[in-house]
């Protein structure tokens, strides 16, 4: 991302939509309200949905966004999805299965359309899979590859990777890899990129040429050759631009 792009890009990347015991999009609602201030209508991309319909997903998001006075218009209603993206006031990408989301994005040939639109200043919100596709690739998703996209390349709106729903836990009796070990495996194959382990209830805000961690929890930062470290809420994360 060059310096000119950083001046215009506005993004909110959220680890998860729903905290345990809370309503849908409850935990980020104040940040969403502030982020969308002045926005009347958003283009919603529901293609990560697998076990429920796009209409149902749209209704669920609309219920929350109605609190902010924002209309949700889902891309699946459009015959010409490129035009829908090009005319969008803001773009919102929901969670679900990242492989299905990326495959559908590629089928509609809008990877570059969305990328150019957001880098030109259109606000972008994504949670879970929607945060994954903002990255250079989807290789740090937690999802099963239930379908096969053409490749793993995503919108590349940021230079770093995100691992949503990041967990430190290693459950008793579990002999498999921890999340941290899996990220270390990724870094063996791609040693020049940062990975942000974004814990649930957390989000990354890119605004006014600054990256900031929002929410109640720290994030864990990984890069080949340096020990993993923590970044606390409110901390500047501009080193991720490097």
How confident is the model over 54-63, as pLDDT tens digits?
999 999 999 9
Q: Is 128 a catalytic residue?
A: yes
Average pLDDT over residues 17-32: 97
Confidence category of residue 235, pLDDT binned at 50, 70, 90: confident
Q: Is 73 a catalytic residue?
A: no
Q: Is 143 a catalytic residue?
A: yes
The pair of structure tokens assigned to 52 is: 């429920």
Per-residue pLDDT, 2: 54
CA angle 129, 216, 25 (to 5 degrees): 45
Domains (range + CATH), the chain: 3-241 (3.40.50.880)
pTM strictly above 0.85: yes
Choice among 143, 168, 218, 236 that is catalytic: 143
Choice among 128, 202, 235, 238 that is catalytic: 128
Q: How many CA atoms lie within 13 A of 231 on its CB side?
A: 25
Choice among 156, 165, 190, 218 that is catalytic: 165
Give dist(CA 133, CA 153) in Å, integer.
8
Residues 146-164 pLDDT 10s = 999 999 999 999 999 999 9
The pair of structure tokens assigned to 4 is: 């000119």
Burial annotation 170-188 (CB, 10 A radius, 16+ → b, else e): eeeeeeeeebbeebeebbe
Residues 175-215 pLDDT 10s = 678 999 999 999 999 999 999 999 999 999 999 889 999 99
Average pLDDT over residues 31-49: 97
Instruction: Tell me which residue of 113, 51, 39, 101 sits closest to 76, measured CA to CA.
Output: 101
Per-residue pLDDT, 88: 98
Instruction: Tell me which residue of 171, 111, 108, 132 sits closest to 15, measured CA to CA.
Output: 132
Average pLDDT over residues 84-100: 98
Per-residue pLDDT, 236: 82
């Amino acid at each position: 991302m060059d310096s000119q792009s950083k001046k215009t890009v506005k993004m909110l990347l959220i680890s998860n939509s729903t905290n345990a015991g809370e309503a849908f999009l409850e935990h980020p609602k104040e940040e969403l309200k502030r982020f969308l201030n002045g926005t009347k209508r958003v283009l919603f991309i529901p293609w990560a949905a697998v076990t429920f319909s796009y209409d149902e997903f749209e209704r669920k998001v609309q219920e929350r966004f109605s609190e902010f006075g924002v209309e949700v218009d889902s891309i699946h209603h459009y015959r010409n999805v490129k035009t829908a993206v090009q005319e969008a006031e803001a773009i919102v990408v929901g969670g679900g299965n990242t492989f299905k989301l990326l495959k559908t994005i590629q089928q509609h040939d809008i990877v570059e359309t969305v990328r150019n639109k957001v880098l030109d200043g259109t606000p972008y919100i994504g949670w879970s899979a929607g945060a994954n596709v903002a990255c250079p690739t989807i290789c740090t998703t937690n999802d099963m590859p239930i379908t096969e996209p053409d490749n793993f390349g995503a919108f590349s709106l940021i230079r770093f990777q995100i691992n949503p729903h990041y967990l430190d836990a290693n459950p008793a009796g579990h002999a498999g890899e921890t999340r941290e070990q899996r990220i270390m495996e990724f870094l063996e194959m791609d040693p020049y990129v940062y990975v942000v382990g974004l814990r649930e209830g957390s989000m990354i805000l890119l605004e006014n040429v600054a990256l900031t961690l929002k929410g109640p929890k720290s994030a864990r930062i990984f890069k080949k050759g340096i020990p993993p470290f923590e970044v606390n809420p409110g901390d500047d994360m501009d080193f991720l631009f490097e």
